[in-house]
Structure 1
Amino acid sequence: MTSRLWDKGGAADAAMLRYTSRDDWRLDQRLLAYDLVATRAHVRGLRRIGVLTDDELFVMDGALDELVEKNGAGQLVLTEADEDGHTAIEAALVAKLGDVGKKVHTGRSRNDQVLVALRLYERDALSDLARLTTDAARALLSLARREERTPMPGYTHLQRAVPSSVGLWAASFAENLLDAVDLVRATAAIVDRSPLGAAAGYGVNLALDREGVARELGFSGVAWNPLGSQTSRGILEAQVLSAAWGALAVVRRLAWDLSLFTTSEFGFVRLPEAFTTGSSIMPQKRNPDVVELMRAACAVVQGALVEVQTMVALPSGYHRDLQLTKAPLLRGLDEALTTMRLVPRLVDGLDFDRERMLSAITPECFATDRAVELAASGVPFREAYRRVAAELETLERGDAAGSLAARVSPGAPGDLRLRELEARLAALT
């Protein structure tokens, strides 16, 4: 069994160990590559302040190279006996290097070791999420451009309201996703500060080269206050999950609309066949399972977010409660990334039934246009509103294309401002 880093002798209750370790060792398998990268930066920092000699750094670097290679090949597998990834790394270095390996933990704690591994992981995950969300926004803007003036009913309260367009509908999701990218990137900027060197939250009596280590790890700066670094755990994870939730909240609305629009009752759009499944008993069925699971994905992220938020009602300093924020973080980000990765392909394959959408734009949908026309001719709007309301039964069906073209308030169907949104998208890439 791997010696635990906190072991000072004496027997520990086996059930207690299982309870405290839980599945942390399995979760740390996901973070092991980041832990190894941070360990390398840490030992190089120790050499710069004279804690390690050149020879010790050389052999330590070589041993870490071997561990990185083994991990990349899937051969560095953690077990329950390791307790966590930090213990496994130190144990491997000690097994290979003896006393030199025992120096690796000088000036650091498992607390800042997990903090830096998490921030490195979160930085990569947020970068992926920003890219995938941008891809989804791009697909929706392309759809908006292709179907810029394709008429479809606009709804409020799920009741037909006014003539709208597929362009307006698609661009609404695109702009919301661009907002989500801004939030993801803002969160990434907060994550992008190195906590390594905070130790257990109170620093150490060594002049650690925290800035040099941060630069080597690619961080833009250092999270200076060690207690602040420690108490950021959980709060930062909640911010990361909140950014992911913001992106998936847009996808949830898209999925909801597609769930409705693909029903026989609406019949506005057909999903790509590759994105549907069949029934095990009803031969005729093609089910929109993908969009239904996309709709549910936001709830998975929200559940992870709430789980983390309720965990961090703690006083200052480290508390073992924080270990339990790791699983929801990984689970929530996995769900967000997996879902967002599918969105562009789904959007690219949508097939709209133009005749069905046009026929759903019934005469009452033109009531607002008529009221505005009367107001433009000099009738006070409230009087025009009442006059049109009294004449609804005799209101004739208007020209949907003309209605869209006439609606020229900036951003409306007649002036979608797609160039502005495309410029904003281009600035993100």
Structure 2
Amino acid sequence: MSKSSSSSESRAPDPGLLWQKPGVETDARIMRFLAGDDVVLDREFFLHDIEASRAHVEGLARIGVVTSGESDAIARELDRLAEDFSSGAFVLDAQYEDGHSAIEARLTARLGEAGRKVHAGRSRNDQILVATRLWLKARLSALHALCIDVAKVCLERAVADVLPMPGYTHLQRAVVSSTAMWYAGYAESFIDNAQRALDTRAWIDTNPLGTAAGYGVNLALDREHTTRALGFARMQVSPIYAQLSRGKFEMAALDALGTVLLDLRRLAWDLSLFTTAEFGFVHLPSEYTTGSSIMPNKRNPDVVELMRASYASVAAGRTEIEQLLSLPSGYQRDLQFSKGGLCHGFTRGMAALELLPDLLARMQWNAAAMRAAIDPAMYATDVAIEAAVAGVPFRDAYKQAAAAADEAGRGRTPEQSLAARTSPGAAADLCLDELRVRWEKLKNT
């Protein structure tokens, strides 16, 4: 396989292929196809792979497969490898078949025989499983924190910005609404999204290390130790299920992210409409817009549009993994391709979400434009309900209000309409205290 020009300090001697048999020739084209972009994608998981290797070696020492001295030496070298990788002194590239072989090659180069003992009792199958679960636990924790941040901004602005605006159904003006109602809606949505991120993390929080290639090994591995050392909530018991779960837990994580991105897509659609000259309801911070390459008069909401588009990457990643899972039990190499969709979906989705709290905190509403867009017919529902309260059957009240819709708003103001909307959660009773209680509970989880 090709070698890059990284400094020799980052290099171990050529490790070859872990599975290579004597006398069997390798074809460079086939090797390129087999490797694909696996070693590049493994950079995402590498620190977690190192962490799991440390726990595995500690477990081997507990059952006498390596000595305590060897375990300590391996742990020190793993710490140095993590530092070198983080600083850029060690480069994970095409010299290696994947991240797993890179770890073993480095340990062997530095420690000799002790390094060659590290793979006893494990397979690259449970290595990637445990590294992926650790990686996803971290990503889902970050997703939870971002949802909490978005909900916080929305709750704060639901109090600070109580401005009348049109409420729409079918993109047609419907009833009087408010910016506070808009923020409250997204606040509750992202509170639910934060809960789902936690629930998905809890479901994924199980340790597959020690299941090897899917059938266990003839060693009394201390799997309870590795479970505790790696911070997992429980042990994944069945080696066969460890392999059956591949794809399932990645899709579950992408589903949790996708739920958030669907809300972001709708929010971005709102802002895309509200920033047009035809609406003119919202002004975005200048950093969130770009100019046209040909039209000097233009400022485009490109950031919002790419936020809207980001769900596509998450959905594509999930679909790619789902399409790989038409497989029998046991490991199949098809599953190598699951890394790409998972990494791409989370990278793009999280990048979009990271921008959202600041955007929501700094965008500005155009109160005059929103008030001007509230036409008299938008009070017709108020008129119909008031008549129903007075004893008129609602269907009769509905017909009367429809017949005189253009006159419905005579003498009425948006503030009066909002103040009369007293059903729980509506404009006059947003139940923000209840939402804050839920937010506080999740924030501290």
| Structure 2 counterpart of 1:312, from 325, 328, 331 | 325
Alignment pair present for 1:284 and 2:308 = no
Shift of 1:115: 0.5
Which whole-Å CA distance do the structure 2 matches of 1:180 and 1:237 have between them?
17
* TM-score, L = length of structure 1: 0.98
Partner of 2:48: 34
For structure 1, which segment, 393-402 or 175-184, has the greater mean C-alpha deviation from structure 2 after superposition?
Answer: 393-402
Query: Post-superposition shift, 1:284?
Result: 1.6
The residue number in structure 2 matching 1:347 is 360
Deviates most, 105-114 or 380-389: 380-389
CA deviation map 1:76-121 (0-9, x unaligned): 2122231100001111111122222111000000000010111111
Q: Which residue of 2 aligns with 1:388?
A: 401
Deviation, structure 1 residue 182:
1.0
Aligned length: 428
Cα pair 1:152 1:358 within 8 Å, conserved:
yes
Tell me how far 1:337 sits from its aligned partner. 1.3
User: Partners in 2 of 1:225 and 1:75 — Cα distance?
Assistant: 39
Would you say 1:58 and 2:84 are equivalent positions? Answer: no
Cα deviation 1:166-202 (Å, max 9, x = unaligned):
0111111111111111111111001111110010011
2:374 paired residue number:
361
Say whether 1:229 aligns with 2:238. Answer: no
Q: CA deviation at 1:39?
A: 0.3
Specify the SS of the correspondent of 1:246: helix
- In structure 2, the residue matched to 1:77 is 91
- Report the Cα offset of residue 69 of structure 1: 2.0
| Deviations 1:206-243 (CA, angstroms, capped at 9, x unpaired) | 11111111111111111111111112111111110110
Residues 1:330 and 2:319 aligned together: no
Q: 1:102 aligns with which of 100, 116, 119?
A: 116
- For 2:34, the aligned partner's letter is T
In the aligned structure 1, how far is the partner of 2:380 from the partner of 2:40?
61
Structure 2, unpaired ranges of 5+: 1-13
3-state SS of paired residue (1:80): coil
**What percent of counterpart residues are identical?**
49
The whole-number CA distance in structure 2 between the counterparts of 1:304 and 1:171 is 31
Amino acid at match of 2:348: E
Q: 4+ residue runs of structure 1 moved beyond 2 angstroms? A: 392-398
Q: 1:388-427, aligned counterparts within 5 Å? A: 388-397=401-410, 398-427=412-441
Q: Deviations over 1:368-405 (max 9, x none)?
A: 00000000000000110111112224333421101100
Residue number in structure 2 paired with 1:180: 193
Aligned AA for 1:243?
A
Name the residue aligned to 2:146.
132
CA distance in 1, matches of 2:268, 2:141: 24
Distance in 1 between residues matched to 2:53 and 2:25, nearest whole Å? 29
Amino acid at match of 1:6: W
Contact persistence 1:29–1:77 (CA under 8 A): no
The 8 Å contact of residues 176 and 414 in structure 2, kept in 1 or not, is answered as yes
Q: Where does residue 120 of structure 1 map in the other structure?
A: 134
CA contact (8 A) 1:278 1:285 kept: yes
Alpha-carbon distance in 2 for matches of 1:356, 1:226: 62
TM-score by length of 2: 0.94
81-90 vs 394-403, greater mean Cα deviation:
394-403
* Corresponding position of 1:19: 33
- Mapped contact 1:193–1:223 kept (Cα < 8 A): yes
Deviation at 1:2, TM superposition (A): 2.1
User: Gapped runs of 5+ residues in structure 1?
Assistant: none
State the distance in 1 between where 2:405 and 2:29 align.
74
Q: 2:233 aligns to what?
A: 220
Q: Is the 8 A contact 2:377 2:407 kept in 1?
A: no
Indicate the residue corresponding to 1:376 in structure 2: 389
Q: 8 Å contact 1:143–1:167 — kept in the other structure?
A: yes
Structure 1 match to 2:276: 263
